[in-house]
Structure 1
Amino acid sequence: MKKWFSLGLTGLLMGCATQPSSTPNEVQSNALPQTFYDYSITSPQGKAMNIEELAFALRDADIILVGEWHGHPGTHLLQAQLFARLYQQTPNLALSMEQFTRDKQHIINQYLANEIGEKTLKAEANAWPNYDSNYRPLVEFAKQYQLDVIAANAPKSIVRCVGKYGADYLDRLPGVERQWAADTLTLSDDAYHQKFTASMHHGNEAKTERQFAAQTTWDDTMAESMVNYLALHPGKKIIHVAGRFHVAEGMGTASRIQSRNPNLKVMMVTPVSESSELSDSAPDYRVQVMPLPNGYMSKEKMMAAMKKIHSRNNTLKCYE
């Protein structure tokens, strides 16, 4: 028994002292295993950067768009850490969020002023289900340092009705509600429109056009919200968090910002993974993260889930 114990202990010590042979699925002894919280940063030119260098590179931007895969821990960690470093560098900062809508701005303001608690904020401002884990750090940082939070988006009900009836639906909205979406929508056949159309596979052209009108309602409203804020607060800078599709390569929200005020400098920070890259010419700073797990392994289950999502329109109440 002692002989076998001695041999086992010797092998264990040798394993700690020398680098074992490895297969592609094994982790090298000099590298930590990667987790979903880990990320690495590169410049548009491919230069490796740390978070401090990224914040410095973004110092001249008026608006910094930081993309995410909703629910990806690495992208949300990057957003919180970058927010803190940007504030340290430039205190005249505001946070803009896709995750809250214009009609809830007064509730956000009440929370920042300590007039309501977090549970009231979440209930009355329709916080996303992953608020606690992914967006609480951003809002609490803004609250701690008395920074404005811009509820930048259009209400989901309006966006869904645009998707059902088309861009003209906005003309049906009564006065107050009309202010909750952008004054004008960008419906031209630009690169963003083409990218969106290429992602649709149902073959119904009219439906695709209505769906794009809904998509750009988000982008135009978020863009307008930020442009209007900076017009009222000269000297401020904005960090805006939104889904990757809105940010990547400057096609979505960035193009809508610059059509409204071409003098604003907009910069993008976009997540990438081994299965989702950007074009070589994209001006985005890249945040490399692990890819999210596959949502579905069978087309049938995916289609069933999509059908359930689209069934919400059966009870959707739109203005006639």
Structure 2
Amino acid sequence: MKKLRHYCLLIITLLMMANTTQSQDLKAFVIFDKEGKEISYGEMVKSLEGADAVFFGELHNNPIAHWLELEVTHSLFEAKGKDLLLGAEMFERDAQQVLDEYLAGIAKEAYLIKDGKAWDNYATDYSPLVEFAKANGLKFYATNVPRRYASLVAKQGLSALEELDKEVRKNYLPKLPIEVDFSLPSYKNMMAMMGGHGHGMQGAEDMAKNMVAAQAIKDATMGATIAEAIKREKGTFLHYNGSYHSNYKEGTVWYLLQKMPKLTVVNINVVEVNDVNTFDTQNKETADFVIQVTERMTKTY
């Protein structure tokens, strides 16, 4: 009986070890540097702490990306305290007042969601970031251009912005006119996808340019908002955005650096892959840090 009990305990121990080994092999994400070298979360955070601005390029519907955003926020707060500034493309500049009122405890969350035009996945993915700012007395910036003005540019071009009221231009837009560098790879790719590569009909090319310009007014507005905040508050800015706004340090990062070229900027790119352990070389140098997440991860909406 004693030998049987010993044998049973041995089998249970071996099964537990096997299950532990299998669970260790199953990874939800792996972090790499821009060259494709695997690094730890702590190593990444150490680099982020030395930046003036950090761009977390997320996948909008990926729960691991959102969890890591929150973890990075916690880690940078531990290092920076009240000198940490937060901001997101998910809020437009005309939502700043209700966002401030919510953070100050004046407005209820229902008003923030309605008047702030919160995204459908706000409750699961962005509320934790706002709540962290509220609990710790951090500033949270609504950085994006109001979508009606991006829509206006898409239909009529950038010149249409000059016709807007002076107060509108002052409060919600970057200084006009903005420069759009259509030679930037990200914008060139957009042009090509829309058929506006210079070999089609003039009307199609103009439409494609307007669509790129609509993307550019978002990037320029976010870049200007971040620059204004850093100049005014002298803090480290952590910005949450879709990775297409900050990959290759183009888009929003490009506009920020036009205004403040001496800033130290670090960007993160979250990508979905089949095998998180093997670096996908097509993402090489897209960002200072590439976080590979399994493509089988569940979605938030």
Q: Report the counterpart of residue 168 of structure 2 in structure 1.
A: 177
Q: Is the 8 A contact 1:272 1:289 kept in 2?
A: yes
Q: Report the counterpart of residue 199 of structure 1 in structure 2.
A: 193
Q: Report the counterpart of residue 229 of structure 1 in structure 2.
A: 229
Task: Kindly report the root-mean-square deviation, in angstroms, between the aligned alpha carbons of the 2 structures.
Answer: 2.7
- Distance apart, 1:33 and its partner CA: 4.0
CA distance in 1, matches of 2:104, 2:26: 42
Q: Report the counterpart of residue 179 of structure 2 in structure 1.
A: 186
Question: Which residue of 87, 104, 124 maps to 2:77?
Answer: 87
Q: Report the counterpart of residue 209 of structure 2 in structure 1.
A: 209
- Corresponding position: 1:76 with 2:66: yes
Amino acid at match of 1:149: F
Q: Which structure shows the higher helix fraction? A: 2
Question: Which residue of 13, 27, 39 maps to 2:29?
Answer: 39
**Range with bigger deviation, 195-204 or 54-63:** 195-204
- Corresponding position: 1:263 with 2:262: yes
Structure with the larger RCO, 1 or 2 (CA within 8 Å, 6+ apart): 2
Amino acid at match of 2:223: A
- Corresponding position: 1:285 with 2:289: yes
Unaligned 5+ runs, structure 1? 1-8, 21-27, 296-320
Per-residue CA deviation, residues 106-136 of structure 1 (Å, 9 max, x unaligned), is: 1111011000111111111111111000101
TM-score, normalisation: structure 2: 0.83
Q: Is the 8 A contact 1:186 1:256 kept in 2?
A: no
Q: Report the counterpart of residue 115 of structure 2 in structure 1.
A: 124
Alpha carbons of structure 1 residues 31 and 208: separation in structure 2 relative to 1, 3 Å: same
Per-residue CA deviation, residues 31-77 of structure 1 (Å, 9 max, x unaligned), is: 3545xxx3221122333223222111112211100011111111111
TM-score, normalisation: structure 1: 0.78
SS in 2 for 1:239: strand
- Distance apart, 1:280 and its partner CA: 2.9
Number of residue pairs aligned between Structure 1 and Structure 2? 275
**Range with bigger deviation, 113-122 or 195-204:** 195-204
